[in-house]
Amino acid sequence: MNEMPLKYGCNPNQTPARVFMERGELPFTVLNGRPGYINLLDAMNAWQLVRELKAATGLPAAASFKHVSPAGAAVAVPLSEVLEKVYFVEGIGLSPIATAYIRARGSDRMSSYGDFVALSDECDAQTASFLQREVSDGIIAPSYSVEALEILKSKRKGTYLVLRMDPSYEPEPVEKKQVFGVWFEQRRNDVKITADCLKDIPTKNKDIPESARRDLLIALITLKYTQSNSVCYARDGQAVGIGAGQQSRVHCTRLAGSKADNWYLRQCPDVLALPFRPEVRRPDRDNAIDVYIGDEYEDILRDGAWQRVFTEKPPVLTAERKRAWLATAQDLALGSDAFFPFGDNVERAHKSGVRYIAQAGGSIRDDNVIETCDKYGIVCAMTHLRLFHH
């Protein structure tokens, strides 16, 4: 099949809508559900991301996409006991692809609500079972086990979108799109992001351990499929904070940094000890945790709303306690899709425990950026690659 009608375009008033190939067949097959325009934009971008993560790291990869940018991306690095609790999978032996998915979904669960999922490897029954419990619009993977497909077909009253991607598909080297009646054409961004991108290190500290090298590659490949401007924080085999679509670089760094801080605050002992009522569902727990680590919790204490979620009133997570916990964050990696124009980006990254940075370089103030990195002992690699995505 080389053409498929869609329900509508980006919005219900945009009809008719379709996807089609000028030559050859569509590279994916619909196994269940009916795709929408944004579903397929997410699917095509997310598939490229997980395919490249797998190629760069050799590990199964997963991504959680929302509105054509990743909410999370990860590879199959085993979870610590703390992260098992944070991600609600305590004591469960996870398959590699399930581990990657749990990490990708867990990095920013608020943004992942209603996501589109991509897997680099076959979707197994365990991963499908986890997906069945989440609010999600669809999935794309190269294959599905028989049991996994049956589980996914039962999701959302049988309407959950399941796509099988042809892993051998390679697009034409030139891509084009139309905007307001005008055609745009360019070479597809087929640059390979490998460890060679991290060789130029002008900072005094030049030591990048293998784990940090992996995390920098994860950050850079994630940025390649994130709406620009964008910055990505990564740790332990996954993205932990993605700042997408901002007009200034430092706002990307702040947005991604605040998400990375929230990810780390969820590991604070005070948060892990929250006394949830057993009947409270996981999405409601996520919302409650987000409120608890935010600035609105004292308001909820005053109006008694905590009683709907907790068995007893948890103490306030004070600003001082938050600062003390966040001060223990360390060894995060950060990627930027273009150069840092000022050292203020490094200052903000340092506050979230960043020790390794990969950015394009080439600013007239590179010396200021390097000097700021040296002040904190941060390693900064100049990739000489700009990764804008629009």
Give the separation between CA 54 and CA 125, rounded to whole angstroms: 20
Total number of domains in the chain: 3
DSSP run (H or E) holding 380 = strand 379-382
Contact at 8 Å (CB) between 341 and 365? yes
74 by DSSP, 3-state: which? strand
Q: What percent of the chain has pLDDT over 70?
A: 98
Is 238 a domain residue? yes
Q: Which of 124, 139, 170 is the last residue of a domain?
A: 170
Is 387 a domain residue? no
Is 179 a domain residue? yes
74-90 pLDDT tens trace: 999 999 999 999 999 99
Is 77 a domain residue? yes
Q: Does residue 291 share a domain with residue 236?
A: no
CATH of the domain at 222: 3.40.140.20
Q: In the annotation, is 66 catalytic? A: yes
89-118 pLDDT tens trace: 999 999 999 999 999 999 998 899 999 999
Compute φ and ψ for 361, nearest 5 degrees.
75, 170
Q: Is the pTM of the predicted complex or chain greater than 0.75?
A: yes
Q: Which of 114, 149, 170 is the last residue of a domain?
A: 170
Is 336 a domain residue? yes
265-324 pLDDT tens trace: 999 999 999 999 999 888 888 888 988 998 777 666 666 677 888 898 888 899 999 999
DSSP run (H or E) holding 212 = helix 210-224
Residue with structure tokens 């999935």?
A: 139
Closest among 214, 172, 159, 248 to 333, alpha carbons compared: 214
Average pLDDT, the chain: 94
Is 321 a domain residue? no
Higher-confidence residue of 294 and 246: namely 246
Q: Does residue 217 share a domain with residue 188?
A: yes
Q: Which of 111, 142, 170 is the last residue of a domain?
A: 170
Q: Does residue 182 share a domain with residue 158?
A: no
Closest among 101, 83, 80 to 267, alpha carbons compared: 83
Q: Does residue 288 share a domain with residue 219?
A: no
27-40 pLDDT tens trace: 999 999 999 999 99
Residue 307 pLDDT:
82
Give the separation between CA 159 and CA 122, rounded to whole angstroms: 21
Closest among 325, 287, 305, 292 to 135, alpha carbons compared: 287
pLDDT mean over 334-361: 96
CB burial of 24-48 (b: ≥16 within 10 Å; e: otherwise) equals: eebbbebebbebbbbbbbbbbbbbb
Residue 299 pLDDT:
66
Q: Does residue 275 share a domain with residue 261?
A: no
Residue 282 pLDDT:
83
Q: Does residue 191 share a domain with residue 150?
A: no
Residue 303 pLDDT:
62
Q: Does residue 369 share a domain with residue 228?
A: yes
Q: In the annotation, is 67 catalytic? A: yes
Answer yes or no: is pLDDT of 228 > 80.
Answer: yes
Q: Does residue 186 share a domain with residue 150?
A: no
Residue 82 pLDDT:
96
Is 390 a domain residue? no
Residue 72 pairs with which residues in a beta bridge? 64
Residue 302 pLDDT:
61
Q: Does residue 179 share a domain with residue 291?
A: no
Q: Does residue 278 share a domain with residue 245?
A: no
Say which of 39, 45, 54, 66 is annotated catalytic: 66
| Residue 17 burial by Cβ neighbours in a 10 Å radius (0-12, 13-18, 19+) | middle
Q: Does residue 154 share a domain with residue 133?
A: yes
Say which of 32, 39, 45, 229 is annotated catalytic: 229
253-257, long-range: CB within 8 Å, 24+ apart, which pairs? 253/334, 253/336, 253/345, 253/348, 253/349, 254/348, 255/231, 256/230, 256/231, 256/232, 256/334, 257/233, 257/348, 257/349, 257/351, 257/352
Its domain, for residue 284, covers 269-316
Q: Does residue 102 share a domain with residue 38?
A: yes
Contact at 8 Å (CB) between 243 and 254? yes
Say which of 67, 153, 251, 322 is annotated catalytic: 67
Residue 294 pLDDT:
83
Q: What percent of the chain has pLDDT over 90?
A: 87
Residue 304 pLDDT:
67
48-54, long-range: CB within 8 Å, 24+ apart, which pairs? 48/225, 49/73, 49/118, 49/221, 49/222, 49/224, 49/225, 50/118, 50/119, 50/120, 51/120, 51/167, 52/193, 52/221, 52/224, 53/120, 53/218, 53/221, 53/222, 54/120, 54/121
Is 210 a domain residue? yes
pLDDT mean over 207-233: 97
Q: Which residues are CB-contacts of 130 (< 8 A; sequence separation ≥ 6)?
A: 89, 98, 101, 102, 105
Closest among 352, 390, 387, 357 to 372, alpha carbons compared: 357
Q: 161-165 and 354-359 as β-strands: parallel, antiparallel, unpaired?
A: unpaired
The number of CA neighbours under 13 Å toward the Cβ of 356 is 26
Residue 286 pLDDT:
86
pLDDT mean over 351-356: 97
Residue 117 pairs with which residues in a beta bridge? 64, 139
pLDDT mean over 238-257: 95
